[in-house]
Amino acid sequence: MSFFQKEFVANSAAVRVRFGPGVRHDLGAEIDRIGATRALILSTPQQAESALTFAETLGGRAAGVFSGAAMHTPVEVSENAVDHAREIDADIIVAVGGGSTTGLGKAIAYRTDLPQIVVPTTYAGSEATPILGQTEQGRKTTLTDPRVQPEIILYDAELVATLPVGMTVTSALNAVAHAAEALYARERNPLSSALAVEGMQAFAAALPKVVANPADLDARGETLYGAWLCGTVLGQVGMALHHKLCHTLGGSFGLPHAETHAIVLPHAIAFNETAVPDLLAPVGAAFGGGPAGAALHRFATKMGAPLSLKDIGLAEADLDRAAEIATQNAYWNPAGIDRDGIRRLLDAAFHGRAPER
């Protein structure tokens, strides 16, 4: 099957990507390669020990460690980190972690234009995009800027092998969500569609192996490959209903990022499948056949993913307001968006039913 389109525009960022179990040990060489000498290592508080190990290994190239990264990149944390980077005269940022840590690195780069190396430990894919989401006084805003795009990514399967199985599954479905929505994006091009399908196929093949044996480094490597591809398409094309709903549920109701993506995905895709069944056919094919939404729901169930919003902290009384907020501002989506349709979608996701359509 070809993804040829009669007309398209394609933009690609210049990013150096290295894959391999143990590739993190070449971090020092990568820092030397771009001529930097004073690295600031970033992590969340939970991964502080890992950041310290990186600093020890880097020896004189490590100028400091900042382990305050937090979900949704709070601006006050970023400002503290920028002050710290200036105090220690850092000339490169090294982010070791998931989307939260990568987000902090991007926020520093946005304010200082320092180069970034990311060593991802989840499948969120932020390392492959020029997008930065930040929160200030409870409000999340998103910007796209070339300064934010990390220059180097080191994908090391040994690091992602410590990700607990539950987070592995939700993080993988978060990545699949980027690829599924990329297939009907207005800005899609043949390359973004091919990357999206390859990324989904990598997860469909390797995630069941990782769930069966989380220490399987070959399967971990293949899921990281999927994460890179899905993250790359996220950076190339715009997202629609699914990401909007997750943004609303995360931003206004404090629901956890990856879990929310995992639960909403089959429903949002089933909703849009009524408008663009042909564009979404590769999703169904990748995840076991049949309609895309139903196939994703079956796959998520088999992988042991959470299936209902009520299980991750949403109250039934919030559904009306969530539908209201998610339909307040007009945005492009392949299927027409109406409040009642979104309210029904959210109801199915709340109770963990299979998608309606």
Residue by residue, what is the 3-state secondary structure of 26-37? HHHHHHHHCCCC
- Rule CB under 6 A: choose which of 39, 44, 197, 307 binds ligand NAD: 44
Residue 162 binds to ligand NAD (criterion: CB under 6 A): yes
Quote the CA–CA distance of 353 and 348 in Å, as a whole number: 5
Alpha helices in 34-139 (DSSP H): 48-58, 75-87, 99-112
Tell me how far, at minimum, the Cβ of 256 lies from ligand NAD, in Å: 8
Quote the CA–CA distance of 50 and 174 in Å, as a whole number: 24
Tell me how far, at minimum, the Cβ of 258 lies from ligand NAD, in Å: 4
- Total residues binding ligand NAD (CB under 6 A): 30
Cα 325 to Cα 249, 258, 338, distances in angstroms = 9, 20, 12
Interface region with ligand NAD, contact rule CB under 6 A, candidates 155-163, 216-224, 264-272, 330-338: 155-163
Residues 277-336 that bind ligand NAD (CB under 6 A): none
Residue 133 binds to ligand NAD (criterion: CB under 6 A): yes
Residues 329-348 that bind ligand NAD (CB under 6 A): none
Strand partners, 92: 39
State which residue, 128 or 270, has the beta carbon closest to ligand NAD.
128
CA 88 from centroid of its chain's CA atoms: 30
Residue 38 binds to ligand NAD (criterion: CB under 6 A): no
Residue 138's contacts (CB-CB under 8 Å, 6 or more residues apart) are: none
Quote the CA–CA distance of 19 and 104 in Å, as a whole number: 23
Tell me how far, at minimum, the Cβ of 174 lies from ligand NAD, in Å: 6
State which residue, 103 or 334, has the beta carbon closest to ligand NAD.
103
Residue 96's contacts (CB-CB under 8 Å, 6 or more residues apart) are: 41, 42, 43, 47, 50, 51, 54, 119, 121, 159
Residue 149 binds to ligand NAD (criterion: CB under 6 A): no
Residue 265 binds to ligand NAD (criterion: CB under 6 A): no
Binding site for ligand NAD (CB under 6 A): 44, 46-47, 71-72, 97-101, 103, 121-122, 124-126, 129, 131-133, 159-160, 162-163, 167, 171, 174, 234, 257-258
